[in-house]
């Protein structure tokens, strides 16, 4: 790791009180993103990726539902972010990385092995079709996948009562948030907070949207694969 990312990693270790094994594992992930031609992301330079991927994921540790989770599911994990990062930071939590694309799953599996993570399972499936995850997840994380109403429908069947969905988003959008609240009301979730976050110096308009599972999800959810995005739940106009 070059000097600048190394300095940034030290700052992240201190800010988030990372366990000793986390920084080397995260350094390995940054190296893979930079050198593996099959890494499924366009942000590969370590000096940029440590902010855009690592710090951006670690900022969720500021939320108690993430810090205290025994089992986390990262939906649409892509390059393994935030799932692999949180798995490195939370070695006592089991982290399921749910991704339907086979090549992305292969990258995530290789990265988890290279990072020395023993608390990760890679699940090749769509969230709507992952029956083994229904009702057993403490926290669902999701970044750069879909609008809030779609994410709520993906997450709600997976969560235990009292569990939480944490969704990474940029600038706030009132219409999207209203649709998310409508989807939450239909599926047993409730909006808790929209937290502005500053994972790195100069970061702007970044937010974590947090929903809690407050009631059982109706049996009609999840709808069959693709329906959440094709016919999303919306607020009444």
Q: What is the reported pTM?
A: 0.96
pLDDT, position 92 = 98
CA dist 136 and 147 (Å) reads 23
pLDDT, position 38 = 92
pLDDT per residue over 150-184, tens digit each?
999 999 999 999 999 999 999 999 999 999 999 99
Q: In this model, does residue 3 exceed pLDDT 70?
A: no
Query: Would you place residue 220 in the very low, low, confident or very high pLDDT band (cuts 50, 70, 90)?
Result: very high
Mean per-residue pLDDT, 85-102: 98
Sign of CA dihedral 137, 183, 229, 66: negative
Q: In this model, does residue 35 exceed pLDDT 70?
A: yes
Q: Which two tokens stand for residue 112?
A: 């988890």
Residue position matching structure tokens 């030290």: 10
Long-range residue pairs from 15-24, CB within 8 A, at least 24 positions apart, any chain = 15/58, 16/58, 16/61, 16/89, 18/58, 18/89, 19/89, 19/91, 21/88, 21/91, 21/116, 22/88, 22/89, 22/91
For the chain, the domains span 3-230
Instruction: Tell me the CATH class for 3-230.
Output: alpha beta
Residue position matching structure tokens 């308009």: 205
pLDDT per residue over 105-153, tens digit each?
999 999 999 999 999 999 999 999 999 999 999 999 999 899 999 999 9
User: 199 exposed, middle or buried (CB, 10 Å; 0-12, 13-18, 19+)?
Assistant: buried
CA dist 145 and 161 (Å) reads 24
Q: Which two tokens stand for residue 115?
A: 């990072």
């Amino acid at each position: 790791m070059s000097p600048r990312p190394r300095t940034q990693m030290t700052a992240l270790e201190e800010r988030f009180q990372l366990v000793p094994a986390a920084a080397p594992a995260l350094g390995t992930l940054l190296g893979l993103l930079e050198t593996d031609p099959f890494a499924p992301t366009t942000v590969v330079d370590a000096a940029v990726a440590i902010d855009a991927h690592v710090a951006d994921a670690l900022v969720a540790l500021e939320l108690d539902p993430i810090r205290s989770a025994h089992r986390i599911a990262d939906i649409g994990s892509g390059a393994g972010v935030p799932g692999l990062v949180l798995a490195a930071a939370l070695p006592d939590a089991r982290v399921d990385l749910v991704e339907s694309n086979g090549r992305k799953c292969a990258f995530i599996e290789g990265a988890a092995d290279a990072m020395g993570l023993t608390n990760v399972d890679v699940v090749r499936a769509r969230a709507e079709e992952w029956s083994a995850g229904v009702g057993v997840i403490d926290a669902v994380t999701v970044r750069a996948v879909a609008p809030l109403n779609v994410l709520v429908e993906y997450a709600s069947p997976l969560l235990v009562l009292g569990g939480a969905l944490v969704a990474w988003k940029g600038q706030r959008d009132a219409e999207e948030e209203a649709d998310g609240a409508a989807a939450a009301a239909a599926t047993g979730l409730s909006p808790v907070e929209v937290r502005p976050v500053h994972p790195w110096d100069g970061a702007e308009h970044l937010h974590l949207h947090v929903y809690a599972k407050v009631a059982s999800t109706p049996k009609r959810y999840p709808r069959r694969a693709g329906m959440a995005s094709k016919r999303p739940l919306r607020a009444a106009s």
